[in-house]
Amino acid sequence: MNQEPKESFYYPEPERKPEPEVFVPPKKNSPNRKTILKHLGLFVLTFISVSTVSTILVGLPSETAFWGFIPTSEEGFLRGILFATLLLTFLTFHEFGHYFAAVYHKVEVSLPYYIPLPVGIGTLGAVIRIKEQIHETKKLFDIGAAGPIAGFIVSLIVLFIGFATLPGVEYLNEFGDHNYVVEYYNQTGEYPEEPQIEEGTSVFFFGGTPLYNFLSSLFEGAPPLWEIQHYPFLIAGWFGLFFTALNLMPVGQLDGGHILYSLIGYKKHKIVARLFFSAITILAGIEAIPLLHDYLVTKSWDNDFGVLSWLIWIGVLFLIMQKAFYREQYWVASMLPTSLIGSAFYLYVIRANSDPESSLIWVFWTFFIAFVVKVEHPPVLIEKPLTPTRKVIGWLSMLIFVLCISLNPLSFKTFGP
- Residue type for 98, please? H
Helix 255-298, helix 307-324: angle, nearest 10: 160
Alpha helices in 67-166 (DSSP H): 74-104, 137-164
| Maximum distance among all Cα pairs of the chain, rounded to whole angstroms | 139
> Would you state the pLDDT for residue 38?
95
> Would you state the pLDDT for residue 66?
46
In a 13 Å sphere around the CA of 184, the CA atoms on its Cβ side amount to: 14
> Would you state the pLDDT for residue 388?
95
- Under 8 Å between Cβ of 250 and 197: no
pLDDT tier at 412 (50, 70, 90 boundaries)? confident
- Using the predicted structure, report yes or no on whether residue 147 has a pLDDT greater than 80: yes
For the stretch 203-247, pLDDT in tens is: 778 999 999 999 999 998 899 998 999 999 999 999 999 999 999
- Under 8 Å between Cβ of 327 and 333: no
Count of CB atoms within 10 A of residue 13's CB?
Answer: 5
C-alpha–C-alpha distance, residues 412 and 405, integer Å? 18
Alpha helices in 105-205 (DSSP H): 137-164, 179-188
pLDDT tier at 67 (50, 70, 90 boundaries)? very low
pLDDT tier at 57 (50, 70, 90 boundaries)? confident
Strand, helix or coil for residue 2: coil
- Using the predicted structure, report yes or no on whether residue 65 has a pLDDT greater than 70: no
pLDDT tier at 201 (50, 70, 90 boundaries)? low
Per DSSP, what are the bridge partners of residue 66? 70
- Residue type for 162, please? G
φ/ψ of 315, rounded to 5, equals -65, -45
> Would you state the pLDDT for residue 396?
97
- Under 8 Å between Cβ of 226 and 205: yes
C-alpha–C-alpha distance, residues 107 and 332, integer Å? 37
Strand, helix or coil for residue 115: strand
C-alpha–C-alpha distance, residues 396 and 261, integer Å? 15
Spatial neighbors of 116 by CB under 8 A, at least 6 apart, are 42, 45, 46, 48, 49, 50, 122, 123
Helix 388-404, helix 137-164: angle, nearest 10: 50
E strand segments, 321-405: 357-358
C-alpha–C-alpha distance, residues 148 and 125, integer Å? 13
For the stretch 315-348, pLDDT in tens is: 999 999 999 999 999 999 999 999 999 999 998 8
DSSP letters for 27-46 = PTT---HHHHHHHHHHHHHH
> Would you state the pLDDT for residue 350?
83
Alpha helices in 220-328 (DSSP H): 232-247, 255-298, 307-324
Helix/strand/coil percentages in the chain, nearest 5: 60, 5, 35
For the stretch 235-293, pLDDT in tens is: 999 999 999 999 999 999 999 999 999 999 999 999 999 999 999 999 999 999 988 88
Backbone φ/ψ region at 68: left (φ over 0), alpha (ψ -120 to 50), beta: left
Backbone φ/ψ region at 327: left (φ over 0), alpha (ψ -120 to 50), beta: left
Q: pTM of this prediction? A: 0.88
- Under 8 Å between Cβ of 60 and 132: no
> Would you state the pLDDT for residue 179?
85
Strand, helix or coil for residue 413: strand
Helix 255-298, helix 388-404: angle, nearest 10: 20
> Would you state the pLDDT for residue 136?
93
- Under 8 Å between Cβ of 398 and 259: yes
pLDDT tier at 175 (50, 70, 90 boundaries)? confident
